[in-house]
Every structure is written in C-alpha cells, then in structure tokens.
Chains A and B, each alone.
Chain A
Amino acid sequence: MKNIKSAIQLSNLYFSWGTSAYDFNFKLNNFILPINASGIIFGSSGLGKSTLLGIVSGITKPNAGVVEILGQDLCKMTSSQRDRFRADNIGMIFQQFNLIPYLSTIENVLLPLRLSLKRRISCGSSKEQYIYEAKKLLDALGVSSKKFGTQLANTLSVGQQQRVAAARAFIGSPPLIIADEPTSSLDEKSESDFLQQLFKQTSTNKTTLLLVSHNKKIIPKFNRSFEITNIIHSTLTQKT
C-alpha cells in the first residue's frame, strides 16, 4: 500500500467561474496538509474559501491542476467515484443549517453510514452498534444522547446543532474532516468549547482537520494556517 504523507496536496490549481475578466478566478500553486495535522484557512469573504473546500471535497472540479486527497487524485475520478470517495473518507461540518430538519438527532448522525459501507463497517456490524457509536459521539461532544437523541434536529439550539454536525462528521472515523466556518454562529465561549471538543475528537480518531474561519484568534490552535489573499487571484500562503 502507498505510504501517504499528506492528507491534502493541491498543486497548480486553477478554477474560474464565468468568462469575463471580472468573474471569479481562483489560482493556487501549492498546498499541502499532512496526515493527522490540523489546518486553518482564513481570509476575507468572496475570495474562494468555500470554492476550495468544494474542490477538496470533490464536489467541484477545478479547470486545471492536481487535487490529491489521501493519496488519490480526485481530478482523475469520475463524478460518481468522487461522491463515493467523499462518502467514505470525508466528514463535513458547515457554518449553520447543518442538519436535515425532519430527522432526529441520532438519525442525522447516522446518515453518513447509510451512504458509506466503509464507515458502516468501522462502526460495527449491526444497527445497535451504529446507534451505540452515534450516542457515544454525541455524549463525547456534549449533547446528551439520552435527552436529545430522539428530538428533531430543528428543535435543537444552534450550538447543539453544530455538535451534532460534528458527531455526524466523525462517525465511521473518516480520515479527513472539513469544517466551513463551524463556529461563526457561536458565541466566544461556545466557540472555545466546540473547538476543544473538535480537537479532542480529531486526536482520538487520528483525523486530519481542515477548517475555514474568519476568526484569526483561533489560528494558534492549528498546526498550519493558510491565508487567502488577492481579490482576483487567491493565493494560499503557509504561515507556519
């Protein structure tokens, strides 16, 4: 088996949206995030942070370049293969509205297992084991599975929803977690708690974390940070 050193390796990446010079352009020469590391991308709005996450997760295909995630070049995969790859290997957390509103807390956490056999196997072999894993994660992230497990997702507070989303991202131990401004709708205390639990989980599961944020204060918590600059051509600059 290939010895993978970097979880994310992007090179000579180019993505454009539209045809005129004023339309969105995104260029990136080199970006590496090692296995089990935690990286943060920061920068102003509209520079392509979310586009970059779309490319890394395999939903968006760049116009040119190499997108190597966990040793596999997503650009060489078909759309369907990328979907399968994402289901098996990537857990995602969004800024807000992370959950399917009409599913219960536990059903939301279990969703990735229904789309990935690999993640299902890593949780066990029976429905009871899957539920046990989901409850364990919820409790570890500070959402009481006993109290909130059967509650509909849209009845939870924003902070609780973010933790449920984190539990969903971690279930089945995917090697890469991508979080798109997961703390932007949380207050300072909740943000700190959430990040603490996020790091605890990534450390426990030996997971690589890539997070996008506006908040420069949290940069020191990460192994690596990247800043997106330049309005027309976004460039990631490795800070540490």
Chain B
Amino acid sequence: MLVFNLAYKSIMNRKLTSLLTIISISLSVILILSVEKIRKSTRTSFINTISGTDLVIGPRASGIQLLLYSVFHIGDATANITIKTVEDIKKRSEIDWVVPISLGDSHKGFRVIGTTNNYFKRIRYRRNMTLKFDKGNSFSNLFEAVIGKDVANSLGYNVGDKIILAHGTGEVNFGKDHSDTPFIISGILQKTGTPSDRAVIVSLEAIEAIHIGWNSGSYDKRTKTIKDYETINLKLTNVTALFVGLKSRMTTFSFQRWINTYSQEPITAILPGVVFGELWSLIVNIENALFIITSMVVFTALLGMIVSILSSLNERRREMAILRSLGAKPLHIFTLFITESSCIAFLGIFLGATTMYALLFTFKPIIENFTGLYIEITSPGYNEFIIMFIIIVASVLSGIIPALRAYSLSLSDGLIVKS
C-alpha cells in the first residue's frame, strides 16, 4: 500500500512529465490498435466484397485471375462463356440463381458491367447487404445505366445525365467509343466500399447492342439508330462470368467438380471465400511491415518513458536514501519504480484504447463515406487483447531498467547520496 501511495503521489508530483509520457504511450496505443482495427476491417471488407455468392464461374483460368476481373474488375478475361454453357448451367438442379456479367467496356476509366436486374437483388456485400439506390432506379430501358457512388462523385453525374461508353477498358479510348449509343443514367447506387462503387452497370442486351457492327475491336459501319436497337430482338452470344447461388451449400463441391469437368467448354468454378484467402495471403507481408512499423512506435514511446524515469532518478536519490533510512528495503525501492512505470503504462494504454474507440465511434460514418471502409465497432478482440497485453508486459519490462538502477543506487548510496 505504501509503495502504491508513494508511486501515485510521485506521479502526481511530476504531473507534466507523467502526462506527456502517458500521452505518448496512449498515442502509440491508438496507432497500433487503429492499424490492427483497420487491418482487420480491410481484410473483412475485402473478403466481404461479395457475399452470398456460392460460386463464380468463368472461362478456364486461375482462381485469382477469375476473382480479380469478375469481382474486383482488375485485368481482363481471356475468353468468354457461351450462352449454351450458361443455359446448361441454369438447367442444373443445384442452381438457385445465376447472375451473368459481361465485361470489356469502360467509361472514363470506370469499368462497365453488363448484367441483369437480378444483379441488384442477388449480389450482396458485407454480411448479406444488398445494393441500394441512393438516387433513381435500376435500368428499365435498353440504353439506361446505373452508376456507382464513386463514379457519380468523381464525374459529377446525376440521374438523367447522358454518358458514352468506350470500347475496351483503357482510360484513353483512342476514338473507339460507342458515341452512337449514349446511355442515360437511371440510378446511382449507395456507397458500398466495394468495386460496385466504381462501376457503370448496364443490361446484357445493351452490351450486345452497342457491339453490333464492331469487328475485332474496331467499328465497321453504323447501320442502326437507337430506335432500331430497342425494337430488334437482341440475341446474347456470350458472357464473361457468372455469379451463382446454390439451393444447398452441401452441393457446392460436387457442383464445382461438375463445372471443372464440363466437357463442352473449358470453364472454372471458384469458391470466392477460398480464393479471397489466397489473394489476401499475397499481401500479408505488407500487413506485417505495417505491424512492425507500429510496433516501433510503441517501442519509441516506451523508450521515452524509460528516459523520463531515468532522468528523474538522480534528483530522487535523496528520496531513496530517506526511505532506506526509514527501513525500506532495496526491494521496496525497486517495486516503487516498477509500480510507477506500470501505472504510467496502464494509464497510457487505457487512455489510448478508450480514445481509439471514441474516435472510431465518432469518425466511423465519415471514414465509411470517404473510403468505403466499413469498420465494425466491437469490443476488443483476441488480437487487440494480445497487443495490449504485450504492451503491458513490455512497459513493465522497460520499468525494470530504471527500477534496477534505483535499486543499485539505493544500495550504493545508503544514507549518503554520492553525486
């Protein structure tokens, strides 16, 4: 009790130094916990880019490649799937729903997805959340488009605006655009933090329509007007990939095997969750590097605490001599210093953790709105507790350095301070 009382009074006596040390520890705790929270949220957001889809089917390719172009709109498909194959798949009894997508066009750097209205109903993200409209509605006419929130924000679009799609996925289209078939924006999606925010979504038929007259990537002849396209029966020939929902998850692997051994066309089915895991493991080194950097910040803060206690040691030698003269054992002196450093560290960690959660709670909607990163506010998890425990152990260990110095000084000084 004496040691705790003295430690408390000593800390209060050096209010400014103690407060600055507590703040520096709390800042490092905020940093390391935030990095951990953001790392976890990024991973969850990444994995939850698509939810409720049991399989993604595409032309034969590596799982990561298929996932990259179909879900993240990164890179291009090497081939397409024919409509006959799509029909064969749809006929399977395991199938609950199928959402086909057709890729290959863009608008000012944003990818265009050709799909059906089912896309807005079936494609989900972050624990089964559906895509919701911020403004307007889904497309009902052939040359109507739905745009993601980022597209709307960065290009300043609104419902009713006209846009022209470009052939290919490059930011510069070299005159290969579909200017003869402009689209009218029918709806703007709410921010999701997924690639849908950066997509222009049109119907599959529209994709088919704008490519009539195009051969091998170049426009040959303009034969029809928009009115013509709307009246003719557009026959789909192929799609880029399929998002599939199964009636029962029990059938996932057998159905995947059926797809992978489908003899009519070389196609692949991937389980998004599994491939997300593979993809994430590729960037785990960046994650580790980030963690090492934040650990260094914590180390620096603890070093600051050691320096502040060590620098006060000399002026406190008299205090130690007084305590020794009163019968305090060198161990009392050691415990006093350990208690002081531990109290400072505990306060720093507590302040850091509570401030981090307060900041998170306050800025969560802003972070979500600006970055699309969904941060789930939950009580500290296993990792957070482990981090805090390590910081506590590290701070107690770092308190040993000044405590040992105080212990040895109290032994050598005795009643007389030898300066």
Contacts of B1-30 to chain A: CB distance below 8 A: 1-2, 6, 9-10, 12-13
Chain B 317-333 interface 0/1 with A at a Cβ cutoff of 8 Å (1 = within): 01101111111111000
Query: What chain A residues lie within 8 Å of B321 (beta carbons)?
Result: 94
Q: Does A80 contact B (CB under 8 A)?
A: yes
Cα distance A53–B318 in the bound complex, in angstroms: 16
Query: What chain B residues lie within 8 Å of A116 (beta carbons)?
Result: 327
What is the distance, in angstroms, from B334's C-beta to the closest C-beta of chain A?
13
Q: Are B327 and A87 in contact, with the CB atoms below 8 A?
A: yes
Q: Are A94 and B2 in contact, with the CB atoms below 8 A?
A: no
Q: Are B415 and A102 in contact, with the CB atoms below 8 A?
A: no
Q: Are A102 and B13 in contact, with the CB atoms below 8 A?
A: yes
Q: Are A100 and B327 in contact, with the CB atoms below 8 A?
A: no
For B413, give the chain A residue with the smallest CB separation: A59
Query: What chain B residues lie within 8 Å of A100 (beta carbons)?
Result: 6, 9, 319, 322-323
Q: Are B318 and A102 in contact, with the CB atoms below 8 A?
A: no
- Among the stretches A107-115, A130-138, A201-209, the one at the interface with B is A107-115
Contacts of A37-95 to chain B: CB distance below 8 A: 50, 53-54, 57, 59-60, 79-80, 83-88, 90, 92, 94
Cα distance A165–B328 in the bound complex, in angstroms: 16
Q: Are A99 and B322 in contact, with the CB atoms below 8 A?
A: yes
Q: Are B327 and A83 in contact, with the CB atoms below 8 A?
A: yes
What is the distance, in angstroms, from B389's C-beta to the closest C-beta of chain A?
31
What is the distance, in angstroms, from A169's C-beta to the closest C-beta of chain B?
9
Which residue of A79, A102, A168, A180 is within 8 Å of B9 (Cβ)?
A102
What is the distance, in angstroms, from B76's C-beta to the closest C-beta of chain A?
71
Q: Are A102 and B10 in contact, with the CB atoms below 8 A?
A: yes
Q: Are A101 and B13 in contact, with the CB atoms below 8 A?
A: yes
Q: Does B416 contact A (CB under 8 A)?
A: yes
Q: Does B372 contact A (CB under 8 A)?
A: no
Q: Are B326 and A92 in contact, with the CB atoms below 8 A?
A: yes
For B12, give the chain A residue with the smallest CB separation: A102
Query: What chain B residues lie within 8 Å of A92 (beta carbons)?
Result: 325-326, 415
Q: Are B415 and A50 in contact, with the CB atoms below 8 A?
A: yes
Q: Does B109 contact A (CB under 8 A)?
A: no
Cα distance A111–B269 in the bound complex, in angstroms: 77
Chain A 175-193 interface 0/1 with B at a Cβ cutoff of 8 Å (1 = within): 0000010000000000000
User: Known contacts being A92-B415, A100-B322, A114-B1, is A86 close to B9, with CB within 8 Å?
Assistant: no
What is the distance, in angstroms, from A100's C-beta to the closest C-beta of chain B?
6
What is the distance, in angstroms, from A187's C-beta to the closest C-beta of chain B?
23
Cα distance A70–B418 in the bound complex, in angstroms: 29
Query: What chain B residues lie within 8 Å of A86 (beta carbons)?
Result: 325-327
Cα distance A210–B416 in the bound complex, in angstroms: 17
Query: What chain B residues lie within 8 Å of A111 (beta carbons)?
Result: 2, 323, 326
What is the distance, in angstroms, from B159's C-beta to the closest C-beta of chain A?
68
Query: What chain B residues lie within 8 Å of A90 (beta carbons)?
Result: 327
**Residue among B1, B2, B322, B325 having the largest count of chain A Cβ atoms under 10 Å:** B325
Contacts of B266-304 to chain A: CB distance below 8 A: none
Q: Are B329 and A59 in contact, with the CB atoms below 8 A?
A: no
Q: Are A54 and B328 in contact, with the CB atoms below 8 A?
A: no
Q: Does B414 contact A (CB under 8 A)?
A: yes
User: Known contacts being A97-B318, A100-B6, A102-B9, is A54 close to B326, with CB within 8 Å?
Assistant: no
Q: Does A103 contact B (CB under 8 A)?
A: yes
Contacts of B375-419 to chain A: CB distance below 8 A: 414-416
Query: What chain A residues lie within 8 Å of B9 (beta carbons)?
Result: 100, 102-103, 107
Which residue of B2, B13, B415 is within 8 Å of A59 (Cβ)?
B415
What is the distance, in angstroms, from A67's C-beta to the closest C-beta of chain B?
14
What is the distance, in angstroms, from A154's C-beta to the closest C-beta of chain B?
9
Which residue of B10, B324, B327 is within 8 Å of A112 (Cβ)?
B327
Cα distance A84–B321 in the bound complex, in angstroms: 15
3 closest cross-chain pairs (CB), A and B: A87-B327, A102-B13, A92-B325
A-B contact pairs, 14 of them (CB 8 A): A53-B415, A57-B325, A59-B325, A59-B414, A79-B330, A85-B327, A88-B327, A100-B319, A101-B13, A102-B12, A107-B9, A111-B323, A112-B326, A115-B327
| New A-B contacts (12) at CB < 8 Å, excluding given A86-B326, A98-B322 | A57-B325, A59-B324, A84-B327, A87-B327, A92-B415, A97-B318, A100-B6, A100-B9, A102-B12, A107-B9, A111-B2, A114-B1
